[in-house]
Amino acid sequence: MRFSIVHKTSYRYAMPAYESFMEVRLTPLTNRTQRLIQRHLRIEPDTGTARYLDYFGNAVEHFSVIRRHSSLSLTAVSEVETFPAEVSPEAVDISLSEARQIFNRRTIDLFEYLMPSAAIALSRPIRRQAALLLHPGDQLGEALQRLLAWFRENFTYEAGSTSIDTPVHEVLETRRGVCQDFAHLFIALLRSSGIPARYVCGYIETEAERRASEGTAPRLVGASESHAWVEVALPGGEWYPLDPTNHCLAGERHVMVACGRDYHDTTPTRGVFKGAVSQRLDVSVKMRRKAVPLRGTGPAERDHPAAPSQSGR
């Protein structure tokens, strides 16, 4: 599948701001399940950017606006081609206890994804729940599918029921939240069982957007807001993408932008400024499916070279 994504972020200040410094993670990755075709970032007021890869391999752009400004807007336009996420049955045909032994020998490269992090505390209630759901003799693939089913049967998606600071043990208790909460809790349960997992931030084509792309419903502006899911480390070195919110394998309708220990490593925009005491933030995302041209039949592939392979306030 091929998608055009327009991600707009705007800040409006009660009084003029100055010396704004910001970093953004708004560039979709290129990996085995997707390919970045082209991408452009427009900033107003106009300014230059510096680019680098962060510790987790995400593409980051850093910029500053020194002069006074009453608003700041970012528009990231991307075109991405996605492919099915394929995981062989053999890759998950191993017991949890055997998988943990392998992960223990890979402590250095997986350490961050086994430990607690800023948004994922491995508290006693979390560990108790993990022990009830994930048993040492379980096959890894079956255990992950059972965990997805447990989320489907026990949790309700409810926008506004949590905040960015809601702890995972509270999500476990209330059984309500949004994609960020479910991803954090899913990761916490796996880490408590010795299975490395990381947080993924990106976009998803919603059902409304899919129907709009097929011409069967009006396109909804902002229907494809930023989404969060999980990647689970496999003993063979692969990552298994799972979506706890939709209880499924994260596939062609998911576009990955950044990954890390938790949300704080993947924040789309982050920054500081002087002057204004208050600000208003508006975010909109439009995600539209495009036709995939036949390879070798035209210049499209040559005309749109891929941006750097990886890319918040």
Does 306 map to a domain?
no
Does 309 map to a domain?
no
Does the pLDDT at position 128 exceed 90?
A: yes
Number of neighbours of residue 270 by Cβ within 10 angstroms: 14
Instruction: Determine the average pLDDT of the residues in 200-225.
Output: 64
Shared domain for 206 and 261, answered yes or no, is yes
Shared domain for 105 and 228, answered yes or no, is yes
Query: Which sign does the torsion angle of CA 53, 55, 61, 62 carry?
Result: negative
Does 156 map to a domain?
yes
In this prediction, residue 210 carries a pLDDT of 64
The type of residue at 148 is L
Shared domain for 139 and 251, answered yes or no, is yes
Shared domain for 158 and 197, answered yes or no, is yes
**Sheet containing 197-204: order of strands:** 248-249, 239-243, 226-233, 197-204, 254-260
DSSP state of 211: H
Instruction: Determine the average pLDDT of the residues in 140-168.
Output: 95
Q: How far apart are CA 266 and CA 98, in angstroms?
A: 31
Shared domain for 108 and 15, answered yes or no, is no
Does 105 map to a domain?
yes
Does 28 map to a domain?
yes
Find tokens 């026990």 and name the residue. 154
Does 160 map to a domain?
yes
Shared domain for 40 and 163, answered yes or no, is no
Shared domain for 160 and 258, answered yes or no, is yes
Does the pLDDT at position 61 exceed 80?
A: yes
Does 186 map to a domain?
yes
In this prediction, residue 223 carries a pLDDT of 38
SS3 169: helix
Does the pLDDT at position 313 exceed 70?
A: no
Does 302 map to a domain?
no
Shared domain for 76 and 97, answered yes or no, is no
Q: How far apart are CA 249 and CA 232, in angstroms?
A: 11
What value does the mean pLDDT of the chain take?
89
Please state which of the ranges 38-47, 59-68, 294-303 shows the lowest mean pLDDT: 294-303
CATH number for the domain that contains residue 207: 3.10.620.30
Q: What are the angstrom distances between the C-alpha of 33 and each of 95, 176, 252?
A: 26, 30, 8
Instruction: Determine the average pLDDT of the residues in 93-98.
Output: 96
CATH number for the domain that contains residue 7: 2.60.40.2250
Shared domain for 79 and 133, answered yes or no, is no
DSSP state of 182: H
In this prediction, residue 309 carries a pLDDT of 34
Q: Which domain holds residue 53?
A: 2-83+267-296
Instruction: Determine the average pLDDT of the residues in 282-296.
Output: 84
Based on its alpha-carbon atoms, the radius of gyration of the chain, rounded to whole angstroms, reads: 20
Shared domain for 135 and 200, answered yes or no, is yes
Number of structural domains the chain divides into: 2
Shared domain for 184 and 142, answered yes or no, is yes
Contact 41, 268 (CB under 8 A): no
Q: How far apart are CA 291 and CA 303, in angstroms?
A: 16
Shared domain for 283 and 248, answered yes or no, is no
Does the pLDDT at position 220 exceed 60?
A: no
